[in-house]
Structure 1
Amino acid sequence: MGNFYGTLSLPCNDPETASLRSFVAVLAVDDALRAVMGDGPKLALKWPNDVLLNGGKVAGILLESLVVKGQMWGVAVGIGVNLIAAPDMTQVEDGAVYPVSVKVESGVDVTPDGFLKHLAPAFAQWDRQLTTYGFAPIRTAWLARAARLGETITARLPNENVTGRFDTVDENGYLVLNTAKGPRNIAAADVFF
């Protein structure tokens, strides 16, 4: 038994559509965790691609464009879930959410294969929603599970930190912060609470 690590390659030639797959993946991971652990432990989604369990990071999603001869043909969706063990705090960036594991937080033992049996159908369902109805139902479901919605958070960009109230996620999946200078839509950043 160990932690879950998996990568799914999907055809996609549009970077904006590809980026929305992180929301699909994180909803699927959340559903799979709920199926494995039941209703006891508290789960929440951290923008754009982390799952929190009892306040700590239990899972993360990483997207990578698949490009051949300068043309994007797909996206690789990488998923990591701390089923049994979590990284030590010394391996985590200062200010980041502390890592946790399913076993320690819930007492549930699940194998990577056992977790995949819940994850695969959940991903297929959310991905069908995205391809059939667009981002709107994904966005609604994600916001219903969002961590720190309505609270002040900080988005760390390459050249600045932006602090504001987390108001929503827009129709492109961008984080919307209400800052002292007004609303700010952020396409990509590291978020700190």
Structure 2
Amino acid sequence: MLARPLPQPRPREPSQSPTPLSEGWPDGVARFVLASIGSTNAEGLRLAPTLSGPAWILTLDQTAGRGRRGRGWTMPAGNFAGTLVTRPKGGLAVAAQLSFVAALALYDALAQAAGPSVRLAIKWPNDVLLNGGKVAGILLESAGTASEQPAVAVGIGINLAAAPPPELVEPGAVLPVSVLGESGFAVPPEDFLDLLAPAFARWQHQLETFGFAPIRTAWLQRAARLGEVIIARTGGTETEGVFEGIDEAGALVLMTAEGRKVIPAADVYFQGAR
């Protein structure tokens, strides 16, 4: 069957999630479900000029997913691959902060989907951890310039049913886990979207109404390894230091042997990672 966007937001069916939905689908947000697609981010940016408002794009089979720095993203059957296409108020400066909004929304949705027995944390810059393992990743891409209101694709991949094989993981990186493996709950991707979409809308409203400060505070309350020694790697350069937090722009702040350092972009590694 050919994959194609549905012409109207898809009617939702009763959720089979382990916890009941606390919020309805956000007003004015479209919903498309694809049988198969190469990349939901690419499809979202392709559709962006035709959309009258935000839209979630979910696929049941993503064949060419990717993560940060062009890395591949493996999607076993039953996992979540989705993208929110939106035009945030404030242009590219605010658009970059949507990764923190996405992380908070994922945290809330996973807390509902996986139940109270699991441990959740957010890993800078764009991962969510479940019981110490990586369960979700976020990738932001945009189409537009600083002089206009850009279309932003907030790509989200979640190991709902299965984790990728450990041999596909970069050495030293946090090993992947799945919601099913850690909690015992089987959560269909479309049901998870019912949890994620309203959570994202709520946090995005916070960002656009009150600015980044409350987002930063909430993010730090959920941050993994805060106050511990971590390693930030940018290209061939490694910086080790105590993770003090993030600054007002979302950059990583480390206290190193040479003093405090602010790092806008890097890959983060933990000592003794799962």
The range that moved more, 88-97 or 14-23, is 14-23
What do residues 137-161 of structure 1 show as CA deviations (whole Å, max 9, x unaligned)?
1001100000000000001112411
Aligned to 1:122: 199
Partner of 1:96: 173
CA deviations on 1:46-98 (whole Å, 9 max, x unpaired) are 00111000000000000012137x96722110000000001101111110000
Aligned length: 192
- Extract structure 1 runs of 4+ deviating beyond 4 A: none
Q: What's the offset of the Cα at 1:36?
A: 1.1
- 1:19-98 equivalent positions in 2, closer than 5 A: 19-67=96-144, 73-98=150-175
Larger relative contact order (CA 8 Å, sep ≥ 6): 1
Q: 1:111 matched to which residue of 2?
A: 188
| Matches of 1:163 and 1:112, distance apart in 2 | 37
More helix by share: 1
Candidates 167, 172, 179, aligned match of 2:256: 179
Distance (whole Å) between structure 2 residues aligned to residue 48 and residue 76 of structure 1: 16
- Cα distance change of structure 1 residues 71 and 137 upon mapping to structure 2, 3 Å threshold: closer
Q: C-alpha displacement at 1:8, in angstroms?
A: 1.1
Match of 1:156, as an amino acid? Answer: R
Specify the alignment match of 2:267 in structure 1.
190
SS at match of 1:141: helix
- Note closer, same or farther for the CA distance 1:60–1:49 as it changes in structure 2 (3 Å cut): same
Give the drift of 1:37. 1.6
**Deviations 1:170-192 (Å, cap 9, x if unpaired)?**
11000100011111111111000
Structure 2 regions of 5+ residues with no counterpart?
A: 1-76
Matched residue SS, 2:150: strand
Q: Select 1:152's aligned residue among 225, 229, 232.
A: 229
In the TM superposition, what are the counterparts of 1:130-169 in structure 2 within 5 Å?
130-169=207-246
Select the structure of larger CA radius of gyration: 2
Deviates more, 1:126-135 or 1:15-24: 15-24
Compute the displacement of 1:15 (Å). Answer: 2.7
What residue is the counterpart of 1:5 in the other structure? 81
The question of whether the paired residues in 2 share the 8 Å contact of 1:83 and 1:110 is answered with: yes
Cα RMSD for the two superposed structures: 1.5
Question: For 1:90, what is the secondary structure of its paired residue?
Answer: helix
- Aligned residue for 1:164, secondary structure, equals strand
Provide the TM-score with structure 1 as the length reference.
0.95
Distance 2:214 2:202 in 1: 12
CA distance in 1, matches of 2:160, 2:257: 40
Specify the SS of the correspondent of 1:83: coil
Give the % identical residues: 59
On the 8 A contact 2:115/2:183 being kept in 1, the answer is no
* CA distance in 2: counterparts of 1:159 and 1:19, whole angstroms: 24
Kindly provide the amino acid, as one letter, of the partner of residue 6 in structure 1: G
Query: Which ranges in structure 1 are unaligned for 5 or more consecutive residues?
Result: none
